[in-house]
Every structure is written in structure tokens, then in C-alpha cells.
Structure 1
Amino acid sequence: MRFIIILSLFFLSFNAAQAQQFNNFSLEVGGGAHFPFNPKDSKDQTSLSNYISMKQFQVSGRYMFNEKIGLKGQYAYFYFQDKENHLNKSAMHKVTLEAVYNLGNALNFNYAFQERFTLLLHGGAGISFLKPKESYDFEKIGNLQLGITPMVKISNQVAFYMDVTPVLNLMQHYSYGGELLNADYKAQSGFFLNANAGFVFYLGSRNQHADWY
């Protein structure tokens, strides 16, 4: 029964999108830097600033139901490595689902800035897969995030974006250097800031996307 309801809602939203005069889908591709704040391995006196790097990228698919509200699914990859000791390292794959709200459209930013600038607010939850050093297993970590995305329209098909997103890891057992944080396997919360930039590619046959309609 639940599946039928979800399927019905999907078809209703699809039919509504067909009647609209703008495109709904977009693809985002970018990369940037990450800034870890915690947890810190008490056995490792290395500053977490050693793990700040540009070794990350992400790709997202976004669907706007109307000019203000949408959903975004995202895959992101992060590589943490100690600048002074390259043996201390970990890799993280993160998948999230977020709600998106077009603040620029809601506040008429598009008109004030000649329809070239807008601002997206996004937030949601997901799961990360952290691979510690010298391990073949991935730790599964639930996470929450909330970010803001300024965008500049280049053409009807492309926009440039910048994004700042704090990420909260709910239960993390390994440090960014790949070490077990606690011998008793007690989890800690983790937190890092993700800053990146890239391009939005608008998909569809109509001239305008919902971001700029």
C-alpha cells in the first residue's frame, strides 16, 4: 500500500512538471576543501589542521518541484591524510538526501540582481562509509548536514556555484588518520566543514530552469 502511495505521488509530481514552463532537473559537479574539527585521536598529537586538503569531489542530482522547493541526492568523496605523516590517512564515501529551498527566488533575488544570482539552502541526512588505513572494511556512519549555495547564472544551461556545508557524523569510531579512537570501541561524534565550488548543468527541453524562473 505504501509503495502504491509513493508511486502515485511520483506520477502526480511528474504530470505537474509536464505542465510547468521550466525544467526541473539539474546535475551538479564540483570539488573543494574539507576542514575537520573533531574527533581528535587522544593517542595522536597531530593537529587536525594537518588533514585540511583539497582532496574531495562531489556529484549531485537535483529535482525542483517548483521554483522554491526541491530534493537533492548527492555522492561525495573525501580523502583525509596527515601532511606530515602520509601513513595516517582515511577515505570517506558519503551519500545524502536533502531538501532544497531557493532563498533567492523566495526573496526575489533574481530580479534584484538581474536574474543572475540566487541562493539555495539545503539540508538533510545520509550515510558515510569511512575506510581506515590498512583496513579492507568500511565503517558506516550516519550524518546530518546543512549548507548554503550561492549560484551565478552563466547561461540557460549552466550556472556556477559555491557551497559551504557543515557535516555532523553521529557515531564515529575511527580518527581521520585511520586509528581506532577508543580501545573499548566507544563512538564519538565527528564534525568537519566542506567548502567547494563547481558547475550546475540544467537538463530539459525548456528554456529556463526552476532556479531562475
Structure 2
Amino acid sequence: MNNMSVELNYGYNGAIQPYNKQFKSNFSGFNHFEVGIRYMFSEHLGAKIIYKSDKFVNDPGGNIGIQYNSLGAGVVYNIGKKIGLTYLTRDNLGLLFHLEGSVGFANSLIQQYESEKTKIIGIGITPQYRINNKIAITTDFTYNINLKQLYGFDGFPINTTKISETGSFYNLSIGLIYYIGENKYHSDWY
């Protein structure tokens, strides 16, 4: 069976906190992009490396906010196999769970403020629908926690003392998985 895949996702990101409530915006929108490479060690357990881009901007206007670019790695667990979902649906539906850690580079869209580096922990779930032996369509929901954040999602410093806070946001996306390899089946469906 094949063990490697390439994944692309696009979708919605939602800022939860912190940002200044004076703005008539929640700094959320369709500004999430993700690409990853996943390797499954077995039918149940795998790992992946990921690049994510998330832009949080005010609406209307788009000139106040922050841009995140992050690189990370994660662990993937095939829940669909464990609970027998793939068997029940004749290998058409799957379900993956992932836990990831990344380093995010945040750039304020407001020119006078600096950029910052933050650590992000994400936990998510990915339903899958197999089109054929090489392609699957996915949806994904990931909840992200910024461990140390100096700037809010509005791009402004959270406080004047430069003390970091914990922040959070989520991603809701749709994507494609392309399975790499010469064998007929991938471990997601084998």
C-alpha cells in the first residue's frame, strides 16, 4: 500500500480572541490556505508537515489586521479505521484526527508595528470522501491556540507593557488529498 499524500486546503478562518472590540469587524473571513505532506506509518498512525497562511482583516476595508505564516508538524490518527467507518462505507468515507504544533510568523498590516514569532498548537478533525484510489475530498475543522501573542488579530499591540497573552482562532476548510505511490491503495483506505 502507499503511505504518502499531498494535501491542499482553502477556507475560512475565525478570530476568537484577542482583538479590540471597538472595530466593527470580527477579523474573520475566507483567508486560510494550507498545504501539507503526510506519511502514514500504518493504517492508523501517521505524521505530516504543514505550511499555513491565515490573514485576519477588518471588513470592510481590509487594511487593519494581521497576517500569519506558519510552519509545523503534526501527528495524524485514522479514527475512521478504528471505528470501522471505512469498512461500513466500503472505503468511501474516512475520518482523521490531527494534533499539530507550529511556529507562526505574524506581520501586522499596520506599517508602524513589528512582526512577531508565536507558537501555535492545533487540534482538528478531517472527514474524507474517496473519489478514486488517487484523490479524496476533505473538510477540516482545526482549533488553534497561540501560546504567546503580543499583537491582537486587529494588528495592534494587546497591551503597552509588551506582555504576551494566549489567543485562539479556528479554521474551517475544504480540500483535496492526492495519494502518491505506485501501489493501488493508500493506507487511508487499505
TM-score between the two structures when normalised by the length of structure 2:
0.95
Map of 1:168 onto structure 2: 145
Q: What is the letter of the counterpart of residue 132 of structure 1? A: S
Q: How many aligned residue pairs are there?
A: 189
Q: By how many angstroms is 1:86 displaced?
A: 2.9
The structure with the greater share of residues assigned to helix is: 1
Distance 1:210 1:85 in 2: 45
Selected match of 1:205 from 174, 182, 188: 182
Map of 1:18 onto structure 2: none
Q: By how many angstroms is 1:48 displaced?
A: 5.2
Map of 1:145 onto structure 2: 122
Q: By how many angstroms is 1:144 displaced?
A: 0.8
Q: By how many angstroms is 1:124 displaced?
A: 2.1
Secondary structure of the equivalent of 2:81? helix
Question: Quick one: percent identity of the two aligned structures?
Answer: 29
Runs of 4+ in 1 over 2 A off after TM superposition: 84-87, 135-138
Structure 2: where are the runs of 5+ without partners?
none
Selected match of 1:128 from 101, 104, 116: 104
Q: Does 1:37 align with 2:16?
A: yes
Q: Deviations over 1:18-70 (max 9, x none)?
A: xxxx00100001100011110123xx512552x11101210010000010000
Selected match of 2:59 from 80, 83, 91: 83
Secondary structure of the equivalent of 1:111? helix
Q: Given that residues 11 and 31 in structure 2 are in contact (C-alpha distance below 8 angstroms), is that contact kept between their aligned partners in structure 1?
A: yes
Map of 2:2 onto structure 1: 23
Distance 1:151 1:87 in 2: 36
Distance 1:212 1:147 in 2: 20
Cα RMSD (Å): 1.4
Q: What is the letter of the counterpart of residue 158 of structure 2? A: L
Q: Does 1:156 align with 2:133?
A: yes
Q: What is the letter of the counterpart of residue 73 of structure 2? A: L
TM-score between the two structures when normalised by the length of structure 1:
0.85
Structure 1: where are the runs of 5+ without partners?
1-21
Secondary structure of the equivalent of 1:141? strand
Q: Given that residues 36 and 48 in structure 1 are in contact (C-alpha distance below 8 angstroms), is that contact kept between their aligned partners in structure 2?
A: no
